A and B are shown apart, each in its own frame.
Chain A
């Protein structure tokens, strides 16, 4: 990822549950299971398609956890790449319109 100006959207092909500080996510496509720690959970919960990753890192990670912006960006990039690889998250370089409720 060359830039952190990207927008994250949670896949519809998952089942998820927050247990304590952690979040469990299971892909309904390949049954892969992920356990997100509290930092991952913060990013996951903010992945609304409208908030850029840089803002998520600044407002949800650096302000809540003892980590530098640089380190948080590197970790978040790796984290997002992994989830994208398994179809858990999708990324866009523009905000993703919210789907209207059925």
Chain B
């Protein structure tokens, strides 16, 4: 005879809705401590009581290895995206808008899964996550992109008081009704602070280059697309996704002014922005 036992509160739902880029994902957990961890980690991005069409069920376990800086593998299998790194295993079904995550109770694994899931949700609609800091000034968003050490965090640190920072690490770009918007993200780099949870139409993308003096130069469109592609967060390398990201980058450069910003790292660079 099978025995069953109900432990009061053991399976109580501690779901947390995390809304990034206007896309709320319900992270489902039965662990109260993990719920608290999520609320602390995602702060203003938590939407208590909000409805969500997307859900991720998290099952907590002990990981085989833990290296949040390792690259995740992402592949498509049976119409589901599979994601795997030493510290998590996850799947995402885009048609059903739901997935599962197996990880330990830490913020880094779910952070990586959320980044990947958001890139997968954004790709078909022409949006993307890009290695860039971004900020809003006078109602317009500006992106500052570049490889590691190019100055993304430096631009965020130098921002004057009238600038609202969206992120110093991973900018969230969505195409809404044919226009491009940047959204704040909780994905922080060296700055260590989540961005403001606001959005604004993108006025310009600046590709960063440290230099002895501040200067803005127009860019050849093909070179701009090539540089942008180098910085788009790109986890899945299936042909369909690669084509979507390529088309997204071309469409973005056709619609948004892209410049090279050569800058000397002091506050005067912000005199050129906005």
Contacts and interface: CB of A to CB of B under 8 A. Distances in A.
A50 interface: no
A82 B246 CA distance: 21
Nearest to A17: B250
Question: Helix, strand, loop or mixed for chain B's interface?
Answer: helix
Interface-centre pick from A15, A20, A30 (highest chain B CB count, 10 A):
A15
A28 B222 contact: no
Given A13-B239, A15-B242, A15-B247, A31 B234 contact: yes
A15 B243 CA distance: 6
B237 to A, nearest CB: 6
A18 to B, nearest CB: 9
Interface stretch (B23-31, B36-44, B223-231): B223-231
Interface in A12-29: 13, 15, 17, 19-20, 22-24, 26-29
Interface string A20-46: 101110111111010100000000000
Contacts, number: 45
Contact of A23 (B222, B223, B253): B222
Interface string B245-270: 01100100100000000000000000
A38 to B, nearest CB: 11
Nearest to B243: A15
B242 A19 contact: no
* Interface bracket on A: 10 to 19
Contacts of A22: 220-223
B35 to A, nearest CB: 37
A83 B232 CA distance: 23
Given A31-B237, A33-B230, A20 B242 contact: no
Contact of A15 (B222, B237, B246): B246
B242 A31 contact: yes
Nearest to A30: B237
Given A15-B247, A33-B229, A35-B223, 17 more contacts: A15-B246, A17-B225, A19-B221, A19-B222, A19-B225, A20-B220, A22-B221, A24-B222, A24-B225, A24-B246, A26-B242, A26-B246, A27-B242, A30-B237, A31-B237, A31-B242, A33-B230
Interface of A: 13, 15, 17, 19-20, 22-24, 26-31, 33, 35
Q: Top 10 closest A-B pairs, CB basis?
A: A22-B222, A28-B239, A15-B246, A19-B221, A28-B242, A19-B222, A15-B243, A26-B246, A17-B250, A35-B222
29 contacts: A15-B242, A15-B243, A15-B246, A15-B247, A17-B225, A17-B246, A17-B247, A17-B250, A19-B221, A19-B222, A20-B222, A22-B220, A22-B221, A22-B222, A22-B223, A24-B222, A24-B246, A26-B229, A26-B242, A26-B246, A28-B239, A28-B242, A28-B243, A30-B237, A31-B237, A33-B226, A33-B229, A33-B230, A35-B226
